[in-house]
Amino acid sequence: MTQSGDNGFNQILTAAKERRGNLSVDTMIVSSHLSQMRMFMLRRGIEFYAEQDSYGYRKEFLAKVCEQNMLDMKLDSIVDYFLCDGQGLFYFRPSGDDYQLLYFPKENYRAYRDQEGNLSSVILRYTFNVQENKGFDNYPMSDQRGGKKKYIKLQVYKDRIEQTISDEKIEFENSLGGPQVSLPGQVETLTNSLGFIPAVEIFNYMDCTGEAAGNGEFEWLSNQIMFHNDLVQNVRKNLKFFGNPTLVSSRPKHDIIESGDENTFRPTISSQAGFSAIGRSSTRVSEPFGGASMLDGQVKIPRVVANVEPTDRISYLTPDSVSGDQNMYVKQYRQEIRLALGGVDDLDFQAAGTAYEIKTLYGRVAATAEKKARAMFTYGLCRLFALMISHEERMFNESFSVAIGLEKPVIPLIEDYQDPEEFQKQNEKYRKNFAKYERLKNEALSAILEGGEMPPGVTGLIPDGSTQVDWRWMGEVFEDSSDEILQNSIVVRNLQEAGVGSIEALKYLFPSKTDEERSAMLSGFPFRVVQQTQQSISQFIGLLGNLYQLPHPQTPDKPLASDPNLDITGFLYRSLDYLRKELSYSGKYKPSSNDTGISKLSDADIRRSGLGRAVRDERLPDIPGLTNGPGTSGSGLPGAGPGSAGFGTGTGQQSMAGGVSGTERKFEYKQPLPGPGSLLGVSNTDASGTYPGSVGFGSPNPAASPVFGSPDLQSPSFNPGLSAAGVSTATGRPGGVPGAANAGSAGKRRVSKSNQRRKS
């Protein structure tokens, strides 16, 4: 597709995503498909729930987060951006007692991964408005509500978050595709109290290579959509041009057309040449029908035309604006595109005649929408909510220990000890104290849960095994009629009579509920199942009595029941087990998920990040040819290294002979491969002690590097002498220097919630 075609296609996507009516778009394929996908992806609402919720607090927590962030109001727009872009990123951030839940489209974030495929860092950007009343600040870049637009960029790592706020637009790359080298605005570095990156990336139409590669819903059909846009545009032009009928007559024009103004003169030879009198304009005709007045775009014709001769003919000629073949081709082309997208053209129901056939035809739409809903909810929001629950349980453990007066042992850091043996002793002591701490905490928690009284000051969620979160629709697009519900109940009864358990059979009547919820619904008992089971037991007992009364044919001195082949005791046991199960349904407990999918910092690195130090336990990428680590390419033989002449030079500081890797190889589980299409973060993410600016300027230590001002006029670092806020009172450094705003708050954690949980 040409450059103009790309611009036209992007304009169609922009108009659909942002719902902009000022863009020239003729085809409605994109908007119609998005509307259909929204209907079947969201249906009557989405409800998130924890797969295991023994205390009932997790469901309340998820509902509170969704309500405070108005998630149900944002899902329509999120679906549009996700389908058009092909990928997106969910991000949450603790904010006081609550959580901020944000969604970033494809052009507003960058995600970098490690060798295991986990997120190593993300860069986010967005805009917000600020009310300012400082002279000329109200004039540039103000929006319609009178605020001034600001740009913010967040660089999120596992141990810290670097925030940049600027008056200038922040770009990820420059015009040449390289990294942006312009100096940012005010930079503030915060401690990431979570210990992990609270973000989940989602993909649409993943290819066969794996993760980190999502494709837009309409990109592969861009040529067809643009061609359909041209077809519709031509049809509209024909309707506009040929829509009004044309008058055909054998009489002169001036005899038929009625003059709308009495002062209108007939055109003369001089007026046609452009000459006119002094007090009168020229009567030169420029309209197709002269100077006659127009009525609704048509020529005004008198109601009665006099002096009509028998040979005169006056009639309207109505051309065929859009031929039947052209209309059919446009319609068929639209249907083929909608079929290729996995939808159904709602304007055509040729393949369905009854309501059931229409509902069945929409099954294809439901299947397509369910795949995309699973990509956005199961692998997106549900994993994000699982991270929230994991953090809430960690807050509970810490606050519970403080509430009961149990002090958590502090992990030793190796950099604080000069003697390695002393560190080993302290580390061994820490392990013993930590095991004792965990034992005492678990014993106290078990006693309090049995007693039902939680001590004051405890926040977060009680640890409850698996943190997995699932979702479900709150209602279907086509609601079941009373007859359909009755038919489903008959199916449930027939399955129960066939020996199927009640929980499994009730899936046909309540497909959206979980097994635990169906167990809770069975607070009574299925009387028909119990009645039939009791009758079966009575029949078995009666049969057993008859067997004891009849003599055995081969051994007449013994009853027939003495034959081992006729033993029906197992039938009685099975009937009693089935009856016991139907009368005592209960949920299942999952011990723990261990959060294997979360890449967290170690306890030592969490303490280091709280102290403002660089992390040490994080595994850095080690790929031959990309990093400075020792090469592992080849088979470990001399001459197969990444250095010159095939020798591994290692870090570049050792000799060639020392760089030979020898015959020792690494195991494959110790050297994972990057995911196909993933963006590997191989740069050094630790900016402490170096120049963390975009081009290496702005070190936190003024003595280590020169400090340059911010390009923003309102930044205190632009000219620190003009503003009292330009120098930090805590550090004495300019306000625009990274770390000046948070130098006095290193080690501070997020404020815990003040609301107390109810007793379990």
Band (182; pLDDT cuts 50, 70, 90): low
- Please tell me the predicted confidence (pLDDT) of residue 48: 95
Least confident segment among 46-50, 448-452, 645-649: 645-649
User: CA 640 to CA 632: how far, in whole Å?
Assistant: 9
Answer yes or no: are the C-beta atoms of 704 and 649 closer than 8 Å: no
pLDDT over 70 percentage in the chain: 70
**pLDDT value, residue 2:** 64
Widest distance between CA atoms in the chain? 145
Distance CA 213, CA 555 (A): 78
SS3 content of the chain, % helix, strand, coil (to 5): 40, 10, 50
Residue 635 contacts by C-beta under 8 Å, 6 or more apart in sequence? 665
What is the pLDDT confidence band of residue 641, given thresholds at 50, 70 and 90? very low
pLDDT in tens, 118-131: 888 999 999 888 87
Residue 143: predicted pLDDT: 57
- For residue 404, the tally of other CB atoms under 10 A from its CB is 16
Length of the chain: 760
* Phi, psi angles (nearest 5°) of residue 342: 90, 15
What is the full DSSP assignment across 427-487? HHHHHHHHHHHHHHHHHHHHHHHHHT-PPTT--S----S---EEEEESS-SSPPPHHHHHH
The rounded distance, in Å, linking the Cα atoms of 477 and 148 is: 43
- Is pLDDT at 756 greater than 60 in this prediction? no
CA-closest candidate to residue 361, choices 347, 348, 344, 373: 344
Confidence grade of residue 252 (pLDDT, cut at 50, 70, 90): confident
Strand ranges in 141-287 using DSSP code E only, listed in sequence order: 148-156, 160-166, 186-191, 199-203, 246-249
Q: How far is CA 32 from the centre of its chain?
A: 21
Q: How distant is the alpha carbon of residue 26 from its chain centre?
A: 29
Residue pair 714/137 in contact (Cβ under 8 Å)? The answer is yes
Q: Where are the domains of the chain?
A: 247-263+287-318, 623-670
pLDDT tens-digit map of 677-708: 677 777 655 544 443 443 444 444 443 344 44
